[in-house]
Amino acid sequence: MTIDQFIDRYEQQLKFSAQVLQGQAVTEAFHVQSYSEDIRMICSNLAVKKKD
């Protein structure tokens, strides 16, 4: 499993949980978030370190 697949599966489960728990008070851990900026930054840093 790649990190992209892992994150996609995680996000899908969060969306499912958000639907099931709609209207209930939940922690921020159950809020759907986007990690695209984090992934871009990680990939960018890996590319720079690979050149070194």
How far is the first Cα of the chain from the last one, in angstroms, to the nearest whole number? 27
The DSSP code sequence of 29-48 is: GGS----HHHHHHHHHHHHH
Rounded CA separation 42/2 (Å): 14
pLDDT tens per residue, range 27-50? 887 777 778 888 889 989 888 776
pLDDT at residue 31, rounded to an integer: 73
What's the pLDDT score for residue 8?
A: 86
Domain residue spans in the chain?
3-51
Q: Is the pLDDT of residue 4 over 70?
A: yes
The reported pLDDT for the residue numbered 33 is 75
- CA–CA gap between residue 48 and residue 12 (Å, rounded): 31
**Residue 45: half-sphere exposure toward Cβ, Cα within 13 Å:** 6
